[in-house]
Chain A
């Protein structure tokens, strides 16, 4: 298995632009998680899905952030409009129930 796939690996954009991050989980995993990593706040859970349904989005910082999982093999995290404070590394992870989470390589987002 190729593991969790994230794209793009790096994204540089200007304030106010829309940003879309993508994730392909490991096949057969029924949970998908989005995390954000910053120097100040460390690793934070943003949202997670079970069988494509959002279960807990309490970690999503603002209405500017939205996430979807239209099918079992694809999820997106969208920021619109982006702000400089959104600059971070965004990780996607997937998990089969009662097992550990497997992380993707992350997307490094820089908002100028």
Chain B
């Protein structure tokens, strides 16, 4: 069965510092890959997605992610974090092709921003 691992439950970063959130997946073939962000009491907002093509994808709010097939990873990065980036971040996968299939989520990484 497919699975998504986000090894860091909590990460604390100083405002203005760079950020990398890790995501590894286990899947029979290369899936579609997503990063979502959830602020307290809110729904999930899509940051970026990878379907195919360029393995470095750009998203909203200055985020980017790199797909590495050899490592089954899809890490999220941001060069300089802002206090408003404090939230829960979820990596997710979906079966590629053939229509929608439902997302499998990681357990999430809670991002704390220090002033």
Contacts and interface: CB of A to CB of B under 8 A. Distances in A.
Interface stretch (B12-20, B63-71, B79-87, B98-106): B98-106
Interface residues of B, number: 20
A106 B43 contact: yes
Interface string A96-108: 0110111111100
A49 B107 CA distance: 24
B56 interface: no
Contacts of B46: 100-102
Q: Among the interface residues A43, A44, A56, A59, which one has the most CB atoms of the partner chain B within 10 A?
A: A43
B43 A105 contact: yes
Given A33-B102, A91-B43, A105-B43, A100 B34 contact: yes
A95 interface: yes
Interface in A55-69: 56, 59
Contacts of A33: 100, 102-103
A42 interface: yes
A45 B102 contact: yes
Contact of A56 (B44, B102, B107): B102
Interface string A28-44: 00010101000000111
Given A42-B105, A42-B108, A100-B34, A105 B100 contact: no
Contacts of B103: 33, 35, 43, 45, 101
Interface of B: 34, 36, 42-46, 49, 51, 90, 99-108
